[in-house]
Structure 1
Amino acid sequence: MSRLVDLVPKVRSKNAGPFWLTVDVFCGTPEVFARVSGGLQTARVAKAFQTDPAMIKRFDMPDLNVVKFSLPRPEIQGTVFDRDMHGASFAQILGDFDI
């Protein structure tokens, strides 16, 4: 097994509005995309982000070799409880996954 961040060129997270985050996994090649797409179960991602699996939107894009997850932010952007205004730190959670 390898950490996701060691397999792919980039894992990126960002805001998708004040209520949602998006996490993009850029796989680089079709072979890595197949491995990552098969190894990243939506339920496992939901558990890591402490959210209901039914709330996660998953997009597998083989033409681009990208796997994308959109999910509710744990706190609304800009509130006193929001510790990451831009949503950039959430990529690290997925990047540490063993694939």
Structure 2
Amino acid sequence: MMKTKLKDIAEVIRSKNAGPYELTFDIIFKDWEIFEKACEKKIINEKVIADLYHISVEDVINIIEFKPAKAIKATIVRPMASGRLGETDVYGAQQHAPLVDLEVDL
């Protein structure tokens, strides 16, 4: 098995709001071979996301493999509603950082 960081095999790693109570993460892979291996090995799964974001597995709403874009999309319950007092990232655009250095086995 080859261990690598997600940032080295993904072209894009981003986060954004999916409404005021959810965050979504998009991982768009550099090529088809890597995308297919990532899907086959389920390198992005509910437990991985829950552990990275310190949430329960039940708060991972879904993980979708979106073939037309060579992408995996994960959506979680947002820990704090967008715009709520004390919330620091209204657009959810800075929440992808834990994914960047995630080490995965391909």
TM-score, with length taken from structure 2? 0.84
The answer to whether the 8 A contact 1:24-1:69 is kept is yes
SS at match of 2:63: strand
- Which one of the candidate residues 58, 63, 68 is aligned to 2:68? 63
| Deviation at residue 55 of structure 1 after TM alignment | 2.6
Q: Match of 2:48, as an amino acid?
A: R
Q: Match of 2:77, as an amino acid?
A: P
Equivalent residue, structure 2, for 1:80:
85
- Which one of the candidate residues 2, 5, 10 is aligned to 1:3? 5
TM-score, with length taken from structure 1? 0.90
Distance in 2 between residues matched to 1:78 and 1:63, nearest whole Å: 33
Q: Match of 2:46, as an amino acid?
A: T
Distance in 1 between residues matched to 2:103 and 2:38, nearest whole Å: 10
Structure 1: gaps spanning 5 or more residues: none
Equivalent residue, structure 1, for 2:58:
54
Aligned residue pairs, count: 99
Identity %: 24
The answer to whether the 8 A contact 2:17-2:23 is kept is yes
| Deviation at residue 8 of structure 1 after TM alignment | 0.9
- Which one of the candidate residues 36, 39, 57 is aligned to 2:38? 36
SS at match of 1:9: strand
1:27 equivalenced with 2:29 (yes/no) = yes
SS at match of 1:6: helix
CA-atom RMSD in angstroms: 1.3
